[in-house]
């Protein structure tokens, strides 16, 4: 609350100073028996461009229009003074306004317009002393040059600050874009790893149920129960993903789903009447491994089993091994399939599973190998370094 109040006070002080300086310009010109309307017009245009509230600003009032028009009016005022030969006073109000417009041009205008509008504001600022002296020589020429040097220094500081803040804005946009991209990739990985796994299981078990309907109808109940369980898990996975997408602001656990204890459930749910899954879980595996490492190991098994369903439906023996030795966790999934599958072409996947899996494994410092076995079948093997600290 203190920070907000302080910012409001600072903004109010800046607006008050700008208005007071503009009033001083008009009074100064009026006391010199000169027409105040040209000065008032330039100041009014500049103040409107600087102080117009963002919420009430029309769409056509772009940053380039806001910064170019007042500077152009100021430059035309100076040119008129030179053509008529009349010495016209200038004051701090117009100087500060042009500096504010320079700041807006450098920070908010599109890149090409920022250069053009910034140069226009700079020229208008440096030309204001000439409006009074009409020359750079003689007794008043030195004062004019001094004013121009001071104006150039102030313009340099203002433009430099605006450019620095613009670079921070750009970095912020890049950071937000990268974060959103990472979130989309994470959501895509969740959809692939969980929903695709369950739906593929539903498809395979449905095919098994159709075959058993004519040959072994009395054994259908376990298969139908597996289909029901896989459908329920798929809906739960979709619900979690939709919850992340909706981002209701509630405190939810965003950690990766799955751990080493869940691998047993994967293997039990994968087993079917025509396929046998054997799990070898080393009792020496610690229970307090980092959750990200456990989730990566879980995804390795999940993706490997999903690929067996997709590409090696003829596999009869699938072996899952989880071992721990001297600070290294090893997870492997092997099968004896020959590549036979009865799934439709649309269910084979797009080939992104292993790529995404390798990225996930590498992210936690692990190594992965996936390829055919010498005696037939396929193997997915990963090794994760374990830091117990």
Higher pLDDT, 17 or 66: 66
Task: Give the span between the Cα atoms of 98 and 118, in whole angstroms.
Answer: 10
pLDDT over threshold 90, residue 91? no
Residue 320 contacts residue 333 (beta carbons within 8 Å) = yes
pLDDT over threshold 90, residue 102? yes
For residue 351 the two structure tokens come to 């080939």
Average pLDDT (179-187) is 70
Q: What phi and psi, each to the nearest 5 degrees, are found at residue 156?
A: -60, -45
pLDDT over threshold 60, residue 350? no
pLDDT over threshold 70, residue 293? yes
**Residue 99: band (very low, low, confident or very high) from pLDDT cuts 50, 70, 90:** very high
Residue among 353, 248, 260, 368 at smallest CA distance from 311: 353
pLDDT over threshold 60, residue 3? no
- When mean pLDDT is compared over 12-26, 274-288, 338-352, the highest value belongs to 274-288
The domain limits of the chain are 12-134, 259-389
pLDDT over threshold 90, residue 119? yes
**Residue 165: band (very low, low, confident or very high) from pLDDT cuts 50, 70, 90:** very high
Average pLDDT (189-213) is 68
CATH architecture of 259-389: 2-Layer Sandwich (3.30)
The per-residue pLDDT for 5 is 44
- When mean pLDDT is compared over 114-123, 138-147, 339-348, the highest value belongs to 114-123
pLDDT, mean over the chain: 79
CB neighbour list of residue 130: distance below 8 Å, 6 or more residues apart: 78, 82, 136, 144
């Amino acid at each position: 609350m203190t920070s907000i109040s302080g910012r409001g006070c600072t903004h109010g002080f800046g607006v008050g100073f700008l208005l007071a300086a503009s009033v001083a310009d008009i009074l100064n010109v009026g006391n010199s028996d000169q027409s105040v309307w040209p000065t008032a017009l330039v100041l009014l245009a500049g103040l409107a461009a600087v102080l117009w509230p963002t919420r009430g600003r029309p769409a056509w009032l772009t940053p380039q229009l806001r910064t170019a028009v007042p500077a152009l009016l100021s430059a035309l005022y100076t040119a008129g003074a030179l053509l008529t030969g009349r010495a016209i006073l200038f004051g701090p109000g117009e100087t500060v306004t042009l500096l504010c417009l320079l700041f807006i041009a450098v920070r908010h205008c599109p890149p090409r317009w920022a250069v053009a509008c910034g140069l226009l504001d700079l020229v208008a600022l440096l030309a204001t002393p000439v409006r009074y002296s009409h020359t750079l020589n003689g007794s008043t020429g030195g004062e004019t040059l001094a004013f121009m040097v001071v104006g150039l220094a102030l313009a340099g500081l203002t433009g430099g600050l605006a450019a620095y803040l613009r670079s921070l804005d750009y970095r912020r946009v890049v950071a937000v874009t990268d974060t959103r991209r990472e979130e989309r990739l994470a959501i895509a990985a969740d959809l692939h790893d969980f929903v695709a796994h369950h739906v593929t299981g539903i498809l395979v078990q449905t095919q098994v149920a159709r075959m058993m309907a004519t040959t072994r109808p009395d054994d259908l109940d376990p298969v139908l129960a597996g289909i029901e369980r896989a459908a329920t898990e798929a809906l739960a996975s979709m619900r979690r993903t939709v919850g992340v997408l909706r981002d209701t602001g509630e405190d939810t656990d965003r950690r990766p789903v799955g751990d080493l204890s869940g691998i047993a459930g994967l293997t039990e749910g994968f087993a079917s009447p025509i396929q046998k899954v054997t799990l070898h879980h080393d009792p020496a595996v610690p229970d307090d491994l980092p959750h990200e490492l456990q989730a990566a190991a879980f995804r390795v098994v999940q993706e490997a089993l999903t690929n067996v369903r997709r590409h090696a439906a003829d596999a009869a023996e699938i072996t899952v091994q989880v071992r721990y030795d001297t600070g290294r966790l090893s997870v492997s999934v092997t099968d004896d399939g020959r590549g036979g599958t009865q799934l439709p072409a649309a269910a084979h996947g797009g080939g992104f599973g292993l790529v995404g899996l390798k990225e996930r494994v590498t992210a936690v410092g692990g190594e992965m190998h996936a390829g055919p076995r010498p005696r037939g079948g396929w193997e997915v093997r990963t090794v994760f370094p374990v830091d117990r600290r």
